[in-house]
A and B are shown apart, each in its own frame.
Chain A
Amino acid sequence: MSVAAERVATIPRPAANQWWRHRLVLVGAVIGALVIVYQAWSNGYQWPSALEWKSLSTGLDNFQTWLSDQQSSAHPNVVFSVLNGISTGLDDLVSWLATLFHDLTWAGTTALGVLVTLRFGGVRAGLWVMGAFLSFAAMGLWEDCVQTFALMFAAVILSLVVGMPLGVLAGRSDRFQRAITPVLDAMQIVPAFAYLMPIVILFSVGPGAAVITTMIYSVPPAVRITALGIRGVPANTVEAAAAMGATRLQMLAKVQLPLARKMLLLSVNQTILFALSMVVIAGLINTGQGLGSLVTNGLNTNPALALLAGAAIVIMAISIDRATEAMAERTDPARMHVTEAIRGRLRVATAATGAAIGLAVGIGYALDAGSAYTNVGGSPDWLQARLQSALDYVENPSTFVFSITSWIGNHLVEYGLQPLQNFFVETPAPVMLAGLTLIALLLSGLRPAVMTFAMLAVIGVVGEWGSAMDTASQVIVALVLTMIVAFPLGVWVAESARVATIVRPILDVLQTLPQLVYLIPFIYLMPVSIVPGIIAAVLYASPVVIRLVAAGIREVTPNTVEAAQAFGATRTQVLLKVKIPLARDAIMLGVNQGIIMVLAVVVIGGLVGSGGLGYEVAYGLQQGQFGPGVVASLAILALGIALDRVTRGNRRPRLEGNR
C-alpha cells in the first residue's frame, strides 16, 4: 500500500522543455564559444608541429616505389602475382566485352539493346534506349560509349556476382547482416576520391583499376537491396512454406527468390546506376578510354567535348535506368499472372526478338557497317562548335548571364565561404578539436564523440589540419545551402500531391546523374574556383535530402495527424507541432546523408581548383605525387567518418519486440 501511495505522490513534474531543444541550445553555445575563441586568438595555436608525422609522406613515396619495383620485377612474389593477375584479368574482361560489341557491329549492338528492352521492358523503355543510341551516334561518341559501357558492364556483373549472394545471406541471417552493415556503410561513406590513390598504387592505372574503383561503390547497393528483397518476402508465406516442410534450399529457390524477384531486379538497376556514377571518376585512372576520361581530360583542354561526354553519360544513365526499371516491373510474375496461353505467346516473342537481333547482325556484316558508328555529315563537329560558342558566351564578362553568375559566386565567397573558412582554419586547432568533439557528444553520444576525436586527431597527425578545415568549411556551406533548398521543398512535396508529381521525375533524373557531371556546367557558369564544387554538391545532395524529409513527414501516422486536426489545429500547427517533430529522425538522417554526399562532391571540386584536400588528391593523381595524395586521401576518409559521426544523431534501434 505504501508503495502505491508513494507512487501517487511522486508524479514526475513535466519537463520544462523538450530535450532536443536543450541539445540544440547547447550546440549553439559550443559554436558561440568557438567563435569567441576565434575572435580572440585567431591564427594562434595551430596544430603543434611536434605532433605531426612528417616522414609519412616521403615514407609512402618510398613504399610506392618499392611496390612498383616489386610489381614490375621479373619474379614478383605471391601477393603481387595475385594483384597483377586481378588487374590483368579485369583488363582482359573489359577489352573482351568491348570486342564483343565491336564484333556485333554498330547495327547489331543497337538491335541487341533496343530489341531486348522492347521484349522485356515494353515499347516506352525500348524507345528510350533507341533514343540513347541515336544520340550517341549524333554526338560522334559511339566508340567512347561502347568503351564506357563495356567497363560498366564488367563492373556491374562482378558487383552482382559478389553482392547478390552476400545480400541473400544478409537477408536470411540477422547475424551476418549485423556484421556486414558497417562494412557497407564504410564503402559508401568514403568519398571515391579517397581510395583512388591506394587503388592506383595496388593495381596501377587501367581498366582493371577502374573496375575495382567502381565496384567499391556499386557492391553495397547490390547487397543491401538484395537483402531488403529477401527480408521483404511476407513472413507468413515463409512460415507457411516452413510448416509444409520446405528445406532451406527449397525455401530460397521456390519462395524467397521468386517473391523477391522485383527487388532483385531493382538491385540490378541501382547497381548499374551506382556503377555509372563512378565512370567519370574512374576515368581519372583509366586514361584514354571511354567517356570518363573525355570528361576529366576535357575539363581543362576541351570543355565542349567534356560537356558532350557528360551529356552522353547522363543519357546512358537515364535510358538504362528506365529500361531496367521497366523490365523489373513488367516481368514480375506476381503482377503478370502468366498463364499457359500467355507463356506461349511470350516464348514466340522471345524467339522473334532473338531472330531479329541475329538478322540485324547479319545485315550489319552484309553492309559492312563497321564496329563503331562513324558519323555522316559532320554533325558532331557542328554540335561541339555550338557548345563552345555557348560556353564562350557564358564566360564572357560583358554578357548579362555572366553578371548574374559572377554576382552569385562572389557573394557566396565573400559572405559564406571566406569567413567560414577563416573561422575553421584560424581558430586554434585544439579548441576546434574540442568543440567538434563536444558537438558530436551532444548530438550523437559518447561513442561517436570518441570516434570524431580520433579521426580529427588523425587528420592533425598526418599534417592535413589546415586543408581539412578548409574542406570542412566548404562542406558546411554546401550543407547549409542544401538544407535551405531541400528542407522546405521536402516539406512541400510531402504536403502537396501536385508538387510531388512535378518534383518526383526531376529528382529521379538528378539522382541518376554521376557526381562529377554536376560539376561540368558550373565550371563555366560560376567561374570562381570554389563555387562550382559547392553548387554541384548542393545539386547532388538535395534530391536525397528532399526525399528523406518528405518520406519522414509523410510517414507520420495519419491517426496522429487526424487527432491533432480534431483538436482544431491549423495546417501550420499540425506541421510545426506534429509532423516536423515526429519526422525528426528522418530529418537528422537527411542532414547525415547530405553531409556525406556533399563531402564526396566537394573533394571532387579539387579537380577544378577548389583547394583543400580534394585539390591535393587531384594534384597527386595528375602529377604522380603519391605520398601527399595518399595522405590527403587518408584525411578525406577521416574527415568523412568524423562528419558522419557528428551528425549521426541518437537514432536508437527500436526494441526488438516492437518491430
Chain B
Amino acid sequence: MTTTTVSADAVEPAGEQRGDPLIRAHGVWKVFGPHAERIIGSPDADLPRGELREKTGCVAAVRDVSLEVWPGEVFVVMGLSGSGKSTLVRTLIRLIEPTAGAIEITGRDVIAATPAELRDLRRHAVSMIFQHFGLLAHRRVIDNVAFGLEVQGVPKSKRLERAAEMLRLVGLEDAANQFPDQLSGGMQQRVGVARAFAVDPKVMLYDEPFSALDPLIRRDMQDEVCRLQEETGKTMIFITHDLPEALRLGDRIAIMRDGRFVQVGTPEEVVGSPADEYVANFVRDIPRSHVLTLRWIMRDARPGEEDGPRLDVQTTVREAVPMIAANERPVCAVDGAKVVGVVDRDAVLQAIAGERD
C-alpha cells in the first residue's frame, strides 16, 4: 500500500495556537452501501475502492480520518473530486451520518447528540457555506441572511438589523432588497458567507465555496475570507480541490485521497517535504520559493555570522532573494529579536532549484 494514514493530531499546530482543540474527530468512517457497518474493522476496509465496490457493493467515502483543529485556526482539507472531503465535512455536523468514529465540537459530543442538541449545535456553534450557495430563491437577500436567526426564533426586527450589519460586512448593503437570482455568483456566495456569519458561530465550515466562481472573483473572495478571518478570528475548516487556494488560506493543510488523509501539515511542510509520491505530484508545479520561508531553509548560525543583515524568519524565500543577493554575508533569520538561524545564497539557490525536478 502506498497510502499511509496520517493523523492530524500528530502534527503540532503552527504558531501560538494552543490549549484545547475546538474540533476533534477520531477514527471517522463513512461507508455508503448495504451493511456498511460490517466493513469497518474487517479486512475489506483496506481494499482499494474498485475492489471494495465489486466485492461488497459499498463505497468507503471517508476512511479512518482523525483531526484536531485549534481555535482561530484555518484547517484546509484538499483533495480531488471523489476523495471524500465533502463527505467528511458533512459528517462533522451529521448532515451525513458517519458510519463510525467520535466527533466533538466545542466540547460537545456530536455523535451522541439528540436531535434537539444537534439542532442547537447547528444553530449556534457551527455555520456552513456551500459550493452551490443553497440560497432561498423566494426570499430577499436580507431575509436569506436572516434565515439562520429566523430558525432560532429571533424576533424579526432584531434579526433584520443583524442581517443588515452582516451585509455591510461583506459589502452587499445595497443588494438587501434584491433576490438571489438577480445577483452574480460571487455576490450570491457573499450572501452565503453573510448568512453563515449572522449567527456568530464559533466554527465555519466552507465546502468548496469558490469552486463555482470565475478565477478572478475567486481570488477576491479568498481575500475576503482572509480579511474576515483576521477581523473575526473564527475557526475554519475549508474544503477545496485547488492547491493554490489551500496554500493561500490554510494554517494547516490535510491532503485527502481515497477517503484518507495522506499528509497533514503546514503549507511549507506539504510543499517542502511531501509525504509520498502522490502529494509530490500535486505540489510539483507550485513555486517552492513562494511557499517556503527562511525557517525551512536556514541552518544554524556559525560564530560570527549572527550580526549580519536581519530578516524575519517567516519571510518567504522569494521575498528574501533581493536582500540575500545584495549581501555577501549570510542573512540572519530572526524570530522577534532572537537570531534562530542563517540563510546563505547556496540555500536559496537549492530551494529555488528544487522546483526544477
A interface, CB within 8 angstroms of B:
234, 236-237, 239-247, 250, 254-255, 258-259, 261, 332-334, 337, 339-340, 657
Contacts and interface: CB of A to CB of B under 8 A. Distances in A.
A333 B138 contact: yes
B132 interface: yes
A318 B121 CA distance: 52
Contact of B151 (A237, A239, A244, A332): A244
Contacts of B132: 234, 236
Contacts of B205: 243
A247 B151 CA distance: 8
B127 interface: yes
B152 interface: yes
A339 B128 CA distance: 28
Most buried by A among B121, B124, B148, B192: B148
B152 A234 contact: no
9 tightest A-B CB contacts, nearest first:
A240-B134, A245-B123, A245-B122, A334-B137, A333-B138, A236-B134, A245-B119, A243-B128, A244-B148
Contacts of A254: 136, 147, 150-151
A250 B138 contact: no
A258 B151 CA distance: 15
B95 A239 contact: yes
A85 B120 CA distance: 49
A337 B134 contact: no
Given A242-B122, A333-B138, 4 more contacts: A237-B136, A243-B128, A243-B130, A258-B139
Nearest to B177: A339
A93 B140 CA distance: 41
Contact of A258 (B130, B133, B138): B138
Contacts of A237: 134-137
A236 B130 contact: yes
B294 interface: no
Contact of B152 (A241, A242, A245, A657): A245
Contacts of A234: 132, 134
Contact of A245 (B139, B151, B195): B151
Given A239-B95, A337-B179, A339-B177, A244 B127 contact: yes
Given A334-B181, A339-B177, A244 B122 contact: yes
B137 A241 contact: no
Contacts of A250: 151
A321 to B, nearest CB: 25
- Of listed A234, A244, A247, residue having the most chain B CB within 10 A: A244
A562 B182 CA distance: 33
24 contacts: A236-B130, A236-B133, A237-B137, A239-B95, A240-B128, A240-B135, A243-B93, A243-B95, A243-B128, A243-B205, A244-B123, A244-B128, A244-B147, A244-B195, A245-B123, A245-B152, A250-B151, A254-B147, A254-B150, A254-B151, A255-B136, A259-B137, A339-B140, A657-B32
B247 interface: no
B59 interface: yes
A221 B292 CA distance: 64
Interface in B268-318: none
A241 B133 contact: no
B59 A239 contact: no
B342 interface: no
B207 to A, nearest CB: 9
Interface of B: 32, 59, 93, 95, 118-124, 126-128, 130-140, 147-148, 150-152, 177-179, 181-182, 192, 195, 199, 205
Contacts of B147: 241, 244, 254
Nearest to B152: A245
Per DSSP, chain A at the interface is: helix
Given A236-B130, A240-B128, A243-B128, A337 B148 contact: no
A242 B205 CA distance: 14
B59 A245 contact: no
A241 B152 CA distance: 12
A177 to B, nearest CB: 20
A657 B33 CA distance: 9
Nearest to B178: A337
Given A334-B181, A337-B179, A657-B59, A244 B136 contact: no
Nearest to B133: A236
B101 to A, nearest CB: 19
B206 to A, nearest CB: 12
A340 B120 CA distance: 32
Contacts of A340: 177
Contacts of B130: 236, 239-240, 243
Contacts of A236: 130-134
Contacts of A247: 119, 151
B177 A259 contact: no
B155 to A, nearest CB: 16
Contacts of B120: 245
Contacts of A244: 122-123, 127-128, 147-148, 151, 195, 199
Contacts of B152: 245
The residue among B59, B130, B199 with the most chain A CB atoms within 10 A of its own CB is B130
B59 to A, nearest CB: 7
B175 to A, nearest CB: 12
B134 A239 contact: yes
A242 B8 CA distance: 28
Contacts of A337: 178-179, 182
B177 to A, nearest CB: 5
A240 to B, nearest CB: 3
A245 B195 CA distance: 13
Contacts of B124: 245
Contacts of A239: 95, 130, 134
Contacts of B137: 237, 259, 334
A352 to B, nearest CB: 25
Contacts of B140: 339
Contacts of B195: 244
Nearest to B120: A245
B151 A246 contact: yes
Contacts of A246: 119, 151
A48 B148 CA distance: 72
A333 B143 CA distance: 13
A546 to B, nearest CB: 32
Nearest to A255: B136
B138 A241 contact: no
B137 to A, nearest CB: 4
Contact of A243 (B122, B131, B133, B139): B122
A432 B254 CA distance: 68
B117 to A, nearest CB: 10
B199 to A, nearest CB: 7
Contact of A242 (B95, B121, B199): B95
A259 B138 contact: yes
A234 B131 CA distance: 13
A246 B128 CA distance: 13
